[in-house]
Amino acid sequence: MTELSPPRPKAEEAKPPRAVPKADPVPPAPAASARPQDDAKPSWRTRALMFGVPAALAVAGGVWWLTSGGSVSTDNAYVQMDKVSVAAEVGGLITEVAVREGQEVKAGDLLFRIDGQPYKLTVAQAGAAIDAAKVDVGNLSASLAATQVSIKAAQEDIAFAEANFQRQAALMDKGFTTKAAYDAAKHAVEQARARLAQARADAAEARAKLATGASGTNPQVAAARVQRAQAEVDLGRTEVRAPSAGRVAESDRLQVGQMMVAGLPAVTLVDTAHPWVEANFKETDLADMCVGQPAEMRFDAYPGLVVRGHVQTIGAGTGSEFSVLPAQNATGNWVKVTQRVPVRIAFDEVPRRAMIAGLSTEVKVITSGGCK
């Protein structure tokens, strides 16, 4: 017989279940395989740096490689200008200085003046010498005329003496004269002939002194005129003028009252209107360089200034060949040194800034076009 369990009380059946407090929702943990994949993914900036920098370097390297082989450059270059050292051709005291340092002058402008009073006296003395030579010529002309008279007189004396001698000879043959009279007549003929010879010699001498050269002027007068011309030239040289246009330099040696020595440089004129650059290239840079190739010039004094030019000449020798003391490479301690060759670069345009002789320059010659 089955035992029945007692029934539950009704109050127990109606009791509601106990409430359980809700916990905060916890997000699901990401999968273990997804976390490292998200961390390894680069951003766009990282990608730009990774690919952009190498690409830029490659492009720059390519441009440099393509252009570096088509040009040669050197910084051993300097601006050059023609310089004229002006010296006085005559000596004397400086009485006037008409220029100052850095002044631009034109050809023929007065630079300085030397005292010309001594040279004026020399001109006057030379003029007096011309007058004296003309007087001498006049005296010689009179002497020549006198010798002509003497010649005629001597000829008449000879004729008379010869006639007298012939009479004495005839009388001597007949015995009507003495030996002394005969000898005196003979001696008179010889004296007359001697006087004629002397007169003719004097005439020849006077004629020679009066002779004219190719210019048709008496030599004494011509010599005196040359002396006066030289004196006038020296007087004109007391005014020293500019032989060419340029800028005055080293004029501090010109002082009023200073004694100027002939031939001593007194001032320098720099031709600033026609500058050029002398670039000393290595001998290894001349393989593809030719006259006429374009060039670019940059100057240390003027940053950013670029002037176009071209190769005008390439030197006929290295710098060591034209040095005062050439290198002697025959000794046992010889070391090979790359030589420098001067290359003259002409300006194709007028620079925006004033050029100064001696400015340091960087020159690049474009050799990619080859030699024409």
Pairing of strands 110-114, 239-241: antiparallel
Using CA atoms of 142, 145, 146, 148 in order, give the dihedral in degrees to the nearest 10: 160
Q: Is residue 283 part of a domain?
A: yes
Query: How many angstroms separate the most distant Cα atoms in the chain?
Result: 249
Q: Tens of pLDDT along 313-371?
A: 999 888 777 776 666 666 666 678 888 999 999 999 999 999 999 999 999 999 987 77
Name the domain boundary from 188, 210, 234.
234
Alpha-carbon distance of 131 to 124, in angstroms, equals 11
Q: Tens of pLDDT along 35-51?
A: 444 455 667 777 777 77
Based on the fold, state whether residues 228 and 96 are members of the same structural domain: no
Q: Is residue 17 part of a domain?
A: no
Task: Among 9-18, 76-85, 186-195, name the most confident range.
Answer: 76-85
* The pair of three-digit structure tokens given for residue 185, joined into one six-digit string: 């007549």
pLDDT at 333: 66
Based on the fold, state whether residues 317 and 244 are members of the same structural domain: no
Based on the fold, state whether residues 154 and 200 are members of the same structural domain: yes
Apex 346 CA angle, 345 and 347, nearest 5: 125
Residue numbers of the domain that contains 354: 71-82+272-323+331-366
Based on the fold, state whether residues 261 and 183 are members of the same structural domain: no
Based on the fold, state whether residues 253 and 302 are members of the same structural domain: no
- End-to-end alpha-carbon separation of the chain, Å? 135
CATH number at residue 349: 2.40.30.170
Based on the fold, state whether residues 106 and 159 are members of the same structural domain: no
Alpha-carbon distance of 281 to 258, in angstroms, equals 45
φ, ψ of residue 175 in degrees (nearest 5): 85, 20
Apex 195 CA angle, 191 and 196, nearest 5: 115
Q: Is residue 193 part of a domain?
A: yes
Q: Which residues contact 143 (CB under 8 A, 6 or more apart)?
A: 202, 206
Which is nearest to 318 in space by CA: 342, 285, 284, 287?
342
Based on the fold, state whether residues 249 and 311 are members of the same structural domain: no
Based on the fold, state whether residues 242 and 110 are members of the same structural domain: yes
Based on the fold, state whether residues 75 and 151 are members of the same structural domain: no
Going 113 to 117 to 121 to 124, the CA torsion angle's sign is positive
Q: Is residue 350 part of a domain?
A: yes
**What is residue 275's three-state secondary structure?**
coil
**What is residue 291's three-state secondary structure?**
coil
Q: Tens of pLDDT along 110-162?
A: 999 999 999 999 999 999 998 888 888 787 777 777 788 888 888 888 888 88
Buried/exposed 216-251: b ≥16 CB within 10 Å, e otherwise: eebebbbebbebbeebbebbebbebbbeebbbbbbb
Q: Decide which of 83 and 202 is more confident.
A: 83
How much is the pTM? 0.60
**What is residue 299's three-state secondary structure?**
strand
Q: Is residue 136 part of a domain?
A: yes
Based on the fold, state whether residues 199 and 161 are members of the same structural domain: yes
User: Where does the pLDDT of residue 28 fall: very low under 50, low under 70, confident under 90, or very high at 90 and above?
Assistant: low
Place of tokens 């008279």: 149
- Dump strand ranges (E) for 31-82: 71-80
The residues that bridge with 79 in the sheet, in sequence order, are 277
